[in-house]
Structure 1
């Protein structure tokens, strides 16, 4: 009898393997959170996704699963999905399957590698939605016709994600590009072309006219754009305020910005005015080194820590009640000055900033 019972018990499967198999079964997907978790998103990342786009909580699971499978198949991770949805909250509400293979076949050789392409997609997820012929190929052909090859176009696409849908060229823009005086192989040429292409022609005219009011000729303005194309991205208000300070307060000639364009870029309240006030304070106190002439321009271009070390802390230990502490307090107070009536200024929305 014992032998029979022993043979029966040895034939029964052990419960431990069955338990392990049951525990290893994938949990059924019942919510959108399960789908994102399956793609590698953490709970905190899922919370960010739903905060940016709450409608995803009620998405059709089958449709959402197919879209996430396409993105995961491209090599995008869970953290990449968070960046994409943070950039384009309604991205998963669009149709991304139609023509996707053709876009990838064209874009991957354009960007040189799948890794670079994924970097571009994270910065501009709409690359997966743009019409291949009417948008992507048209833009690439446009820049190639202007002398901007694909190896130069890729950095532009990474730095300005909306380059593809916003680029357009007409005869007047071509004339502006020609008058910038750059050869197609010049380092700044591709930036001039790109900024001109994505800017409204009315905006370009307005910014050229704004600089001409300070006594520059049209050729000088275009030469400035050729040497420092990002001047075209500055608002009219910022250029006016910085130029007024340079001419009226610093008592420098307007043409100095043609040689030192950084005077137009730097923030007036946090860099130009406080450092110029420190220079004047040092002059009135008769301290050395003085900040005037070429030294003033060098001081304005210094990093914050270097400026403080070279022109403020050099006058004594801040722990003492001496000149160094007084000058440091003066500099801190100067940086606290705010633009008058900035809180009551009504924002003007004009669409794309260029």
Structure 2
């Protein structure tokens, strides 16, 4: 016990010493610069909740001589509906915000975003996610970018959907990034209607730099994906989102469950999201379906959408009610094609199927609802 206390005390003293060392780094510089730097560090820690090391790092880009300007900025954000946590996050991501003039620099940007139809809560959420947008020129970047986005989408409603879905549109360059990527998609055969859908509902998917985006598109085309189909962009997203080593690790995970490379490619072609699930999720789904429900691994490979389904809300409760129906004679013999339908069908279609069984054996719906209610406890078992 004494040894444990001693170690904890030593660890705490070490942390305190590190903090003191960080402050000495500021105070060791010559005055008056050291004084200004020290005040900046102190302000960031006390007023913005910065850890000492982050405060010292941020102070390299700030020169706060008095609390007047940063206090006015923090007050402005509070008046706009930001919480203290959101303000702290925003300032950590973009410390220069504390030097902005609330009336001449910040307010016009908030007013413009409001004028195009964004609510106060929308603006808070967007700028918390993308604080650097506050450093962009309203006249030279934010306005022309959003006007261009509206011209491309040909609808104010679609423009607002795109902005809400991806805050990067406030500070990314459309001319340098989005337009070239859209041109590439057109070159490989994607119709305008599909590009319009992607830009509206998945704008992040075309936000990568053009070289990386081009490489991913070319790889997906080489695999045989059809640009006319929805899963084309899902595949591009999957390729872009992981390194080669991560991809190979996912391949190894599926191969451990006796999937061949050809089966993995077919599964990816059918449902690209299956390669974006964590190794833990893949193993949990495979273990439950193969070892609990006695699926053959090849059946899951041919129905790779199953990997993406929620264990708690879909797979476990539906498998349990399937077994209930089997035990009560509502289903004649286990049919894996039928069970795949049970798992993949929409909740509305699934409930209609259970309602038909309910007329024959009352209690099916109650059993299913009970399993849904207790799905968290069931999921912990598998």
Deviation, structure 1 residue 104: 3.9
Q: 1:324 to 1:49 in 2, by over 3 A?
A: closer
1:157 aligned partner: 199
Superposition deviation, residue 260 in structure 1: 2.4
3-state SS of 1:118 partner: helix
Match of 1:202 in 2: 245
Residue 242 of structure 1 and its aligned partner are, at CA, apart by: 0.8
Report the alpha carbon displacement of residue 155 of structure 1 after superposing the two structures with TM.
1.9
TM-score (norm 1): 0.66
Work out which of the two has the higher radius of gyration on C-alpha atoms and give 1 or 2: 1
* Secondary structure at 1:337 match in 2: helix
Question: Do the aligned residues in 2 keep the contact of 1:188 with 1:229 (CA within 8 Å)?
Answer: yes
Q: Could you list the per-position Cα deviations for residues 210-238 of structure 1 after superposition, in whole angstroms to 9, with x for gaps in the alignment?
A: 22332223232222222222223322221
Query: Against the structure 1 CA distance between its residues 172 and 48, is the aligned structure 2 distance closer, same or farther, given a 3 Å change threshold?
Result: closer
Map of 1:1-354 to 2, 5 A cutoff? 46-47=80-81, 52-53=86-87, 60-73=102-115, 75-77=116-118, 79=119, 81-89=120-128, 90=131, 93-97=134-138, 98-104=140-146, 106-166=148-208, 168-169=212-213, 174-175=218-219, 177-179=221-223, 181-284=224-327, 286-290=328-332, 292-293=334-335, 294-302=337-345, 303=347, 305-306=351-352, 308-311=354-357, 314-316=360-362, 327=367, 331=371, 335-340=375-380
Shift of 1:48: 5.6
Tell which deviates more after alignment, 294-303 or 120-129: 294-303
Residues 216 and 236, structure 2, Cα contact 8 Å, conserved in 1:
no
Mean Cα displacement is larger for which, 112-121 or 332-341? 332-341
| Structure 2 SS opposite 1:121 | helix
Shift of 1:239: 1.5
Deviations 1:256-279 (A, max 9, x none): 123323321222233323332333
> How far 1:283 sits from its partner (Å)?
4.1
Provide the aligned C-alpha RMSD in A: 4.0
Find the residue that maps to 2:296 and give its secondary structure.
coil
* Partner Cα separation in structure 2 for residue 68 and residue 130 of structure 1: 18
What is the alpha-carbon distance in structure 2 between the residues aligned to residue 220 and residue 178 of structure 1?
17
Unaligned runs of 5+ in 1: 1-30, 38-42, 343-354
> Which segment drifts farther, 104-113 or 252-261?
104-113
Question: Which structure would you say has the larger RCO, counting Cα contacts within 8 Å and 6 or more residues apart?
Answer: 1
From the two aligned structures, give the one with the greater helix fraction: 2
The 8 Å contact of residues 110 and 150 in structure 1, kept in 2 or not, is answered as: no
Alignment partner, residue 69 of structure 2: none
Give 1:40's aligned residue: none
Aligned length: 294
Give TM-score, length-normalised by structure 2. Answer: 0.62
Q: SS of the residue aligned with 2:297?
A: coil
